[in-house]
Amino acid sequence: MPEFHSRLGASSYSRWGSCPGSVKLEAGIPATTSVYAEEGTLAHAFCEAELNRRFFGVKPRLAKLRKSELYDKEMEKHAMEYGDFVYSIAAEHIGEPPDVYVEHMVNYCNVAPGGFGTADCILAFPGELHVIDFKYGKGVPVSAVGNPQMRLYAYGAYRELNFMLDIKNVHMHIFQPRIENFSSDEIPADELRKWANEEVRIAAELALSDNPPYNPSPTACRWCRAKNLCKARADWLASAHGKNPDLLTPEQIGELLPLAKELEGWAKDLTGEAQNMIEQGEHVPGYKLVIGRAGNRSFTDADKAIQRAKDAGIAEAMLYERRPITLSAMEKLMGKEDFELACGDLVTRAPGKPTLVPESDKRQAYSPNAAVAAEFGLDL
């Protein structure tokens, strides 16, 4: 799997496409990773092996992958499900099997100089293209509908394969198994080409210009490496102070809530950035680092401490606790399917508490009156 990224990458288009100036600001800031990203990379490796097995007869070599400390056997289960999903799309077409491309690099440098990305899977039929993306994350459902990352992958694949297949329609699919999120979108090839040559080309020209515009927003700032020090973001968030009526209306609260969430994140980002600066020897006026509260006490030698307690007359049975492992640890140990079969009827879960979310959230709205009525068996 490729491990390098384009400045105008498909996966970051939601950032540079809406805030072209972010490309310039990120240039001197090294990329970082997280355990979630590394988990995703490992899960993708299992998916790649599974597709190569199914379509090309390549015997998978999984021993090295299984040795990773991030390995979870559910990754293999999801990889097989992903393989079923891809195979079902390929099997829907009667006639010649598709050309299959796995972890295939595509480029769209004609509209975004240096622009490229890696498509998880491409199925190419005469007149028709399917681009499939595996998402291992379980935090936020990702939709294929109007998804610019998927469109850029699709456009890059279209550029490469159209001369052979005369592609008329392009289909995009997202497979996100850990939250059972599966979505698809379709776009005529002409419309995809128009989108790339107009919207993407303009965004790329702005991003690479000498004075690119800055358009901070929750979407643009979320994964931007420069967000902690970005003055445009600071000015945008500070603009909330201009709305200061005596009493806020529901409409005004609705307008300010997205900014409030961003402000909360911004405060955390600034705190971390200030600490990093001071640790590197810089001075941040008005602030200093101190040693925080000491951590929990622990023994330097637990066995020796136990022996000394026994020598002091404490019964050995009083010095040990026997506790079962947690439900989550047991599920991971057994695997979800075996755990469900063996212990599923013994699992209970407390209901969630009411949580404020945007109206775009797919969950059903909670009604306090309806909840009370249900509790007491009343009809509203």
Two structure tokens written together for 99: 């050309």
pLDDT reading at 373 higher than 60: no
- Is residue 331 a part of any domain in this protein? yes
- Is residue 162 a part of any domain in this protein? yes
Two structure tokens written together for 97: 């099997």
HSE of 133 in the Cβ direction (CA atoms, 13 Å)?
29
pLDDT reading at 5 higher than 70: no
- Is residue 157 a part of any domain in this protein? yes
Q: Which residues pair with 117 in a beta bridge?
A: 106
Segment 209-245, tens digit of pLDDT: 999 999 999 889 988 999 888 889 888 887 755 555 4
- Is residue 228 a part of any domain in this protein? no
- Biggest CA pair distance of the chain: 86
Looking at the structure, tell me whether residues 167 and 310 fall in a common domain. Answer: no
108 or 277, greater pLDDT: 108
The predicted structure's pLDDT at residue 19: 95
- Is residue 118 a part of any domain in this protein? yes
What is the phi/psi pair of residue 200, to 5°? -70, -45
pLDDT > 70 in the chain, percent: 93
Segment 79-106, tens digit of pLDDT: 999 999 999 999 988 778 899 999 999 9
CA distance 168 to 105: 21
Two structure tokens written together for 318: 């009083």
Segment 34-75, tens digit of pLDDT: 899 999 999 999 999 999 999 999 998 899 999 999 999 899
Two structure tokens written together for 211: 């004075």
Looking at the structure, tell me whether residues 199 and 310 fall in a common domain. Answer: no
CA distance 201 to 205: 6
What is the phi/psi pair of residue 133, to 5°? -125, 130
Average predicted confidence (pLDDT) for the chain: 88
Examine the fold and report which residue of 147, 176, 207 is the final residue of a domain before the chain moves on: 207
CA distance 125 to 161: 10
111: domain CATH number? 3.90.320
CA distance 319 to 40: 42
- Is residue 329 a part of any domain in this protein? yes
Q: What angle do CA 167, 171, 173 make, to 5 degrees?
A: 150
**Structural contact between residues 325 and 333, judged by C-beta atoms closer than 8 angstroms:** yes
Segment 250-307, tens digit of pLDDT: 887 787 787 777 888 888 888 888 888 888 888 888 888 888 777 788 899 999 999 9
Smallest CA-to-CA distance from 97 within 126, 135, 65 is with 126
Smallest CA-to-CA distance from 225 within 8, 18, 25, 19 is with 25
CA dihedral sign of residues 318, 322, 326, 327 = negative
- Is residue 249 a part of any domain in this protein? no
Looking at the structure, tell me whether residues 180 and 56 fall in a common domain. Answer: yes
Compute the average pLDDT of residues 105-133.
Answer: 95
R_g of the chain computed on alpha carbons = 26
CA distance 18 to 13: 8
Looking at the structure, tell me whether residues 195 and 312 fall in a common domain. Answer: no
Evaluate if pTM is beyond 0.85: no
Looking at the structure, tell me whether residues 187 and 332 fall in a common domain. Answer: no
* Domain interval for residue 152: 10-207
Two structure tokens written together for 201: 């080309």
Q: How many domains does the chain have?
A: 2
Looking at the structure, tell me whether residues 310 and 164 fall in a common domain. Answer: no
Ranges of beta strands (E only) in the chain are 99-107, 116-125, 128-134, 169-176, 181-188
Say which amino acid occupies 215: N
Residue in this structure with the two tokens 């810089």, named with its chain if needed: 282
Q: Which residues contact 54 (CB under 8 A, 6 or more apart)?
A: 83, 86, 87
